[in-house]
Structure formats: structure tokens, C-alpha cells
Structure 1
Amino acid sequence: MVVNRPARVLRALTAGAVLLTTALVSPPSFGADLSSTNKSSTSVGRARVAAEVLMSSYEPNKAWFPSSWWNSAVALQTIGDYMQRTGDRRYLPQLDNTFEKDKGVFPPGYLSGDPLLGNFTSRAIDDSEWWALTWIQAYDLTKNRKYLDMAVTIAEYVENYWDPSTCGGGVWWDAERTYKNAVTNGLWIRLTAELHNRLPKDKRWLGRAQEGWKWFTGSGMINSAGLVNDGLKGNCQSNGDTVWTYNQGLAIGAGLELWRATHDPKLLTTVRRLADAAIAPDGLVANGILTEACDAPDRTCDDNGKQFKGIFLRYWMDLADTTHDQRYTDFVTRQATSIWDNDRDAAGRLGERWSGTGSADHPNAFDWRTQASALSALIAAVPAHPPVRSLSAATNPALPVVMPATASATHVKVNVGVEATGPIGDTYQVAVRADGPSGWGVTPALSTITLRPRGNATPVQKSLALDVTIPAGTPDGRYSVTATATSGPQLSFSTRADILIVHNVAFDTGTAAETPWLWDADGSQSNGVQNRFADGHSYFVYRFPFPGDTKTASTSLTIDNQFVVQLSGDGKNWTTVATETHPYHDGENKAVRTFDLTPYLGPDKAAYVRISDSFPDDGWGGRVYHVTATYN
């Protein structure tokens, strides 16, 4: 996730800030209670915001979310859930782009650490199953048989790894047949049951699902408390390992899909036991919020764990829809509310810990994986029959950093994007009121725009430019500029830009302090504090908006491995100033390198620094640890 993005990704973020919507399928009678309708409409808007932010990280050339293979499958499936739940169909081309580009054979390291064998299969059996479920979701959205056929092809591949000669059954986790675990078998049951429920006269996949469920529930992986441990030891006993939320959720989802196939009431009894165990005092919640083991204050989830809770909520949504149990619906509402109120920034980015907690040593992580995970909770809060009318808004940039001049006022441009869905023929006259901190100027303070929606498959949008005047002498700190939009008595929303005023540039990469300066993260990655790197054809860009009276400037990067450093005054035209010509892999060339930015100060005194990979084909790109910049 990045802030202050260039134009190529801003379209996806225009609705990416605080959003409150109200909407109605038809106008209410006078005096009608709108609270339920408003709540439903708000949930649609929140999910839309989060989906737009997530899709800003989709990389169309490799057709995935860099740089995780199974995580990309789950993120795309989540986008499918979003489209199915809300009626928004804007992301169908990205689903098909991934299907067509990534169904072939690929060497290790191109899209995954493993070789890809074609048809989205690999030695990682669970990875293959995730992709099968993604394509079933695509089939449900489009009814294009090629997606369902691909899911069948993947299931036939996985079927080869069902092995009753060890532990009496179960699907192996890997092609080497080293481990039988909950995730692979939960996926297998859900996959085969979904195939049965979509293939007329099927008996094969129903038999596999029933066989899988009988084995799984008798394997010992479901412990006495009703919680799902990770897998089996070599002696076929439960290993008692961590109860990950996605294993619990997949067990719930597997039982629900098999119940739809058979209507066996015993299945729902088991599903309810699994669900009630998850939300029990000794289950998977802390203060009512779903909490992964790695969400502990002294821990940080790895890139896999970041997405586990979203998988749980995907199948919890199915549980709430199927049972109509208010306890399960209330749990969804609690998660979505906490995410929106506590785990979100002004740019609409959603974090790892849904409670919003974090510390200096273990900050709340924000990336596309955490975005996809939290999005599943927001989708689950959308009613099965969502309202059609909605209104949303966002600021761009939502998190600008400003280095104001000392003796004069500084002007900043902030755009407010307003977005709407509704029946064709509707017209929204939207009044936008903008306001800033005391002593600041925001122009125009009041404006009106007209929106004519054309259904809910493609929201319509217009932007309003605000000129924000920051007085000279404003102390360093974060300041909010807000915009409130209203259309009649039923449609209203608010959004804000959080402007960071700062005079010194010094930060470690991979921390919250880096975020304001990271103008374009592209496909770069960060694996912790003092770590950001760009492999292959990825890069990352820092933007330094120096004060308007700046005469000279420079930046120092602690950098190593196979780097290319480029400078620019506009973020478009680049000059290469340093290239590592030796293929370093392990940081042997780590050093502080200083670059003169003075020739690259743009008309607005901003300078841009881009880091990329000098050997894009071998997997070791430029890595930056610490950044400073000075000016006078």
C-alpha cells in the first residue's frame, strides 16, 4: 500500500478514504425508520472503499498481487465475493486477466517459489485448492464454463494426493507427501462439495466430499474444545499445534457446503459446535474481536498469517446467511465496526490487527494482504440483498506530507472524489462542504456537483479540487481537512485528508514513519523494520516535497544488493545516478550513499527518488534500510 500515488493508480483510490453512505432501493414513506437501510448502505460503501484500495495493488502484467501466489488467489476470491455481494462488476476483467495469463507453466520464482505445473497447480497442494475455489467464484459471477472446468481440472490433480494408506485417508499437504493437515483437507471438502453443487447429476465429487468430511472429523484435528489444530504427527495423532483462524473457518465452510449438498442435520450440528467454540471465551477472540495467535502485542504475523482472519470471515458470512442466527450476525457487525473505527487510515487502508493495536516494535501492519483480509469482514457485513443507491467520497492525496516554507503560507491541492450508484434515471445534486483546522483556508468551502448513476455495476464519479492554505509557522504535526457531502435527506458521507506537516526527513524503511514519503510502492516489499526491496521489474519511489524557498537538497540512502537509483523532478522523467554492476546477494555492499537532489528540484521544489533492480532476472533487487534528506 502506498500514499500520494501517481496518476496510474489514483483511479483505484479515488474512493479510498472515510465513507459513510445511506441508500434506499425505493424512496421510503414519510416518517419511515431509515436506520436499517442506512446501516445496510453504509456497509456497501465501506466494502467498496476497501475493494478499491485492494485493487490498487493488483499488478496486471503478471496478473497477481506481488509477490505471493496463494495469497493472490485468496485476494481475487475476496474481490469475487465483493462483486457477488454488492453487484459491482468492475473487476471481472482482472479476474479473467489472471486466468488467461497465469494458467500456463512457469519456472520457480516467477509467480511462486515453486515451479507452476500449469492449470494453477504446483507441489503445494493447498495452493492449488485455493485457486480452484477462486475459479468457482468466477464461474458463479459469470457463468462462463471455462472457470468451472478449470476448478474440475485442479480437483482432479488434488485427488491424486488423497491417500488412505497413511492415517486412513486425507489429502497430503505437499507433493512430497510429508504432512496431512487441516487447511488442505478443509479446502478439499469445500472444493468437492462446491463442485457437486454446480455439476448436475454429479456423484463423484459428492462422494469425495463425504469421504473427506468423515475422515477429517474423525482425524483428531478437532480437539475437545471444538477448535481445529493444524495437523497430524507422524503417528497420525493431532499435533496440537496453533489453532489458526483460517483452519477453523474452513472447517465451518466445508460443513456448510456439504450440508447444502445433503441437508444432513448432523452437519449443521457440527458446524455450530465449531462456530460456538471459535467465539467462546477460550476461543479465537479477544474483547470480542477475532484475533490471530500472531496478533499478540509481542508478535507480528508473517505474510501468510496476515490473511487468515479474512478466510475465517468468508465462511462465517456463509454461516450467518445459512443459519440466520443473530449471534453470528452480531459477530460480523462487531468485526466490521472495529475495523472501520480502529483499523483504518484516511486512505482507506486496513491493518492486520482488527482492534487497531500496535507498538513500536510490533506495529500494526498495512499491506494488500491485510487489506484483503479485513475486506472479507466488511463484505460479510453487507446484507445478502444490498441497497442500490449509495454515495461515497474520498480525498486524494489522503495522506499528504507537506514541508512548508518558513515565512509564507503554503498551498496544497486536495481533490475530493464523489461516487454514486443508483437506478438509471436518478440524479443526485451533491453539496460538498469542506473545512480545515482553525486559521487554515479551504476553497471552495461549499460546492455542488451533479451525479447521474447508471446502476450499481459501475459507480459514477466526479472530482472537486480544493485549495488548502497552510499558514506560515504552523507547527509540525498531523492536521485533518474534512469534506462532507449531502444529497437530500437520505444520502450523506464524510471523508478527510490527514496532512502531515514536517520539516525533517529521517526514517527507517518498513515502519509507519516511512509511509508519508513512500509515493509509489509499486511491487516492492518490506519484511520488517529497516527493510524495503524491489526485485525483478518492481521499484519504489520516495517523494520529498521540500519547502518553496529551498535552494539546495540532498538525500542519503543506506542501501545494498543490486540497486539502481534514479532521480526526478516530476516523478515521470528519470535520470539514473547509481547502478550496482556486481550481483550482490547478501548485503556485502551495504553503505550509506548520498545523492545531490538540487538539479532535480521541480517547479514545486519536490524531488523524487526511485530504487529498482539492476539484475532483474535473478531475484535480488535493491534494498534500502534508512533514508534521510536535507535542504536549505
Structure 2
Amino acid sequence: MQRLPRTGAAYRRDAAERFDTAELYHTGGERPGYQSYLPAPLGTGGDVYYDDNAVVALSQLDQYEETGDARYLRRAEQVVPVVSRAWDGDATKACPGGMDWYDAPGNNIRATNVTALSAQLAARLYEHTRDPAYLDKAEQWYGWVYSCMRKAPGLYANDRGDDGSTNETLWTYNSGSMIGTATALYRGTGDAGYLRKAVEDARGSLAYWTGGTRLHDQPAVFNAFYFKDLLDLDAVRPDPAYLKAMSTYADGTYRSNRDSATGLFRFQPSNGGDYDPAAPAATLNQSAMVQIFATLADATHRAHRTS
């Protein structure tokens, strides 16, 4: 909303208020981080999920780029030590490395989403700060996912268990975060190899996800991540296929999953798939669809303006 011409400035305070509210989830101490539920005295607290912490920091970077307010850059930088402690340095495990899903002794998986989102965070921070430590982390984390979890161009398995097993489930946001990381690494380093990897993953993932109902069956919130990462690449290496896929999904979901009486979206299962009038109109799904439509509107406007 704060990007709107003429009236956008009025929403900057609203955006800042929401970012400040997110800080209420942050705890300090020896193992700081954003908790999954409000900590005391406002709530009972919850685990520190490393993927959520990376997403919060990426959102803070978005706001820094939008406003130039250095507070958001500093907050994003403070998340790097949080996600860094998720790195599994046990060299005896199959495909050593990768990041734990959440901060708890019982965690026994190394997750693609955490590692790739953290790599994307570090790569984008390197663009802004030129701190070589961020580049080292981004390359290490991206490299682990690329070498250990890649099943095909643009398709990455969900996680690797400490027992040697692999969860082969595919999600659109894992495709997207690797595309977004490679794009950021290209922008930051000028290394054309990263651009080639980003393009290869974008084309491979689109070929897969646009087949049948795969894209429609994914959680809307995961697709929101995926599309924004595709458009991030599009700004560097334009390809009309990215915007077309996003537009097709948005139009189709509007027709098939929107409750005309309320304007709300309902999915079965809970986050993706066919319309179910009995399914709850989950806030997360509404937020995802609003974000997709808003991003699509902005991208379409820019495409028409430059054509």
C-alpha cells in the first residue's frame, strides 16, 4: 500500500507499526530469535523456527529497500547469527551440513526451506553491506541445498533426516528460494554462473509446476513466495513465462476458490487444492492471495510502462 502514488505515504506508518509489532515476538538471551508465539508476559512463547526467522528478516530487507530506514537493515542483520546456529556441522552425517528446522534438542531433520531462505537472506545482505562474511554464508548454504537436495532443475527435496532418510516432497517455495538466492548472488557478485543456475531452475520448476494441477494444489502462501522470486529473476533476465504463470494461477484461483458471497478464498486441503465451501477461510490464505494479486498488479503495471 505504501507504494501507491499520491496516497502511499499515508501507509508507511501502518507498515512500520506492523514491523514493530513483530518485534514483540523476539527474545534475547543466549539463544535469541523470533518465537512462534508471543513470549511472556504477552503469551506463553513457542519454539524458534529458523525458516520463520529468515522470512521475518527478508521482509525487513524489503522494507529497508522500500524506505531506506536503516533500522530494518540492522534488524535483518541480527537474524543472521540466529539462523547460523541452525547449521549442522556434524561431518559424520550423510551429506554433511544443512540447517535444523527449529531450535530444539529433538530436531532431527535438516531442512531445505531453512537453508535456502537463510542463503537468500545472506546473499541480499551482501548486496547491501558488501560484508564478505555474508557472501561466505550465502555460498555455503546455497551450495549445500544445490548439491544435496536438488532432484532436477528447480526441484528440491524437502528435508534430509539425521538417520540418512530423505523427504522427497516438493514445494514451490523451495524452488523459489533457490531461484531468489541465485539471483541475489548474481547481482552481488556479477558471477554469470549464478544467473545461469537461476534461469535453469526457473525454467525447470515452471515446466513441472505448471503441469496438470500441481501449482493449484500447492499452498497459496508457498506460491506467493515462488512468484515473487520468479519476478525477482525477471527483473534481471526478463522472460514473459514468469508473469504468465503467475497471472494464470491468480485468474484460475479467483474463479475456482473464491467464495462469491464473501470474497474470501477457501481451499481443500487447508492451504491449496479444490474449493471446499466447508473449509475455513484461513487468514494465511487470504493474505497470500492478496499478496499475489498485489504483486501481479504491480508487475503488470511495470511491464506495460516499459513496453
TM exceeding 0.5: yes
Q: Which runs of 4+ in 1 moved over 6 A?
A: 353-356
For residues 26 and 233 of structure 2, what CA distance do their matches in structure 1 show?
Answer: 37
Residues 1:180 and 2:107 are matched in the alignment? no
**2:126 counterpart of 1:196:** yes
Q: 2:226: which partner in 1?
A: 312
1:154 aligned to which of 79, 83, 86: 79
Alpha-carbon spacing, 1:263–1:209, altered in 2? closer, same or farther (3 Å):
same
- Measure, in 2, the Cα distance between the counterparts of 1:352 and 1:249: 22
| Closer, same or farther: CA 333–100 of 1 in aligned 2, 3 Å | closer
Query: Are 1:227 and 2:155 matched, yes or no?
Result: yes
In 2, distance between residues paired with 1:164 and 1:148?
28
- 2: distance between equivalents of 1:236 and 1:89? 52
Classify 1:356/1:90 alpha carbon distance in 2 versus 1 (closer, same or farther; 3 Å). Answer: farther
CA contact (8 A) 1:179 1:231 kept: yes
Distance 1:162 1:355, change over 3 A: closer
Q: 1:143 aligns with which of 40, 47, 68?
A: 68
Q: Which amino acid aligns with 1:358?
A: Y
Residue 288 of structure 2 aligns to which amino acid in structure 1? S
CA RMSD of aligned residues (A): 3.3
1:158 Cα deviation from its structure 2 partner: 1.6
Q: Which residue of 1 aligns with 2:281?
A: 366
- Kindly state the Cα deviation for residue 106 of structure 1 after the two structures are TM-superposed: 7.2
**Partner SS state of residue 223, structure 1:** strand
> How big is each residue's C-alpha offset from its partner over 1:178-207, in whole Å with a ceiling of 9 and x where there is no partner?
2211110111111001111112x3211111
Q: Which residue of 1 aligns with 2:179?
A: 252
Q: Secondary structure at the match of 2:156?
A: coil
Distance in 1 between residues matched to 2:58 and 2:46, nearest whole Å: 13
Deviation (angstroms), 1:337: 2.4
- Superposed counterparts of 1:67-466, under 5 Å: 83-84=2-3, 88-104=8-24, 112-113=36-37, 115=39, 123-166=48-91, 167-176=95-104, 177-199=107-129, 201-219=130-148, 221-224=149-152, 226-236=154-164, 238-240=166-168, 242-280=169-207, 283-287=208-212, 290-293=215-218, 305-344=219-258, 345=260, 347-352=262-267, 357-359=274-276, 363=278, 365-384=280-299, 386=301
In the alignment, the residues of structure 1 paired with residue 240 and residue 220 of structure 2 have an alpha-carbon distance, to the nearest angstrom, of: 28
Instruction: Describe the SS at the equivalent of 1:197.
Output: helix
Partner Cα distance (1:258, 1:324) in 2: 17
Please say if residues 101 and 114 of structure 2, whose CA atoms lie closer than 8 Å, have aligned partners that are also in contact: yes
In the alignment, the residues of structure 1 paired with residue 195 and residue 3 of structure 2 have an alpha-carbon distance, to the nearest angstrom, of: 24
- Report the 3-state secondary structure (helix = DSSP H, G, I; strand = E; otherwise coil) of the residue aligned with 2:157: coil
Letter in 1 for 2:23: K
Report the Cα offset of residue 105 of structure 1: 6.1
Amino acid at match of 2:145: F
Q: CA deviation at 1:306?
A: 4.9
Distance in 1, matches of 2:166 and 2:172, equals 17
Assess, with a 3 A threshold, how the Cα gap between structure 1 residues 365 and 252 changes in structure 2: closer, same or farther.
farther
TM-score (norm 1): 0.40
The alpha-carbon deviation at position 364 of structure 1 amounts to 5.9
| Structure 2 letter corresponding to 1:153 | Q
CA deviation after TM superposition for structure 1 residue 208, in Å: 1.0
- Which residue identity lines up with residue 143 of structure 1 in the other structure? G
Aligned amino acid, residue 194 of structure 1: R
Contact kept? 1:288, 1:334, Cα under 8 Å: no
Question: 1:273-329 deviations in whole A, cap 9, x for unaligned?
Answer: 32223222xx22354772235xxxxxxxxxxx4522212122122133332112222
Q: Secondary structure at the match of 2:236?
A: helix
Opposite residue 222 of structure 2, the aligned amino acid is F
The offset of 1:258, in angstroms, is 1.4
More helix by share: 2
User: Structure 1 residue 254: deviation in Å?
Assistant: 1.6
Equivalent position amino acid for 1:170 in 2: G
Work out which structure has the larger RCO, using CA pairs closer than 8 Å and 6 or more positions apart in sequence. 1
Q: 1:508-519, aligned counterparts within 5 Å?
A: none
Q: Does the residue aligned with 1:366 lie in a helix, a strand or coil?
A: coil
Deviation (angstroms), 1:340: 3.8
- Superposed CA deviations along residues 107-127 of structure 1, whole A, max 9, x for unmatched, are 9xxx844858xxx99521112
Return the offset for 1:128: 1.3
AA aligned to 1:207 is: D
Runs (5+) with no aligned partner, structure 1: 1-81, 294-304, 388-632
Look at both structures and tell me which one has the larger radius of gyration over its CA atoms. 1
Q: Mind listing any 5+ residue stretches in structure 2 that lack a counterpart?
A: 28-34, 303-307
Structure 2 CA distance for partners of 1:367 and 1:90, relative to 1, 3 Å: farther
Letter in 1 for 2:201: L
Change (3 A) 1:196 1:98: same
CA, structure 1 residues 137+334, in 2 after alignment: closer, same or farther (shift >3 Å)? same
In 1, are the aligned partners of 2:119 and 2:181 still within 8 Å (CA)?
Answer: yes
Q: How many Å apart are 1:261 and its aligned residue?
A: 1.0
CA distance in 2, matches of 1:183, 1:376: 20
Q: Distance in 2 between matches of 1:370 and 1:380?
A: 15
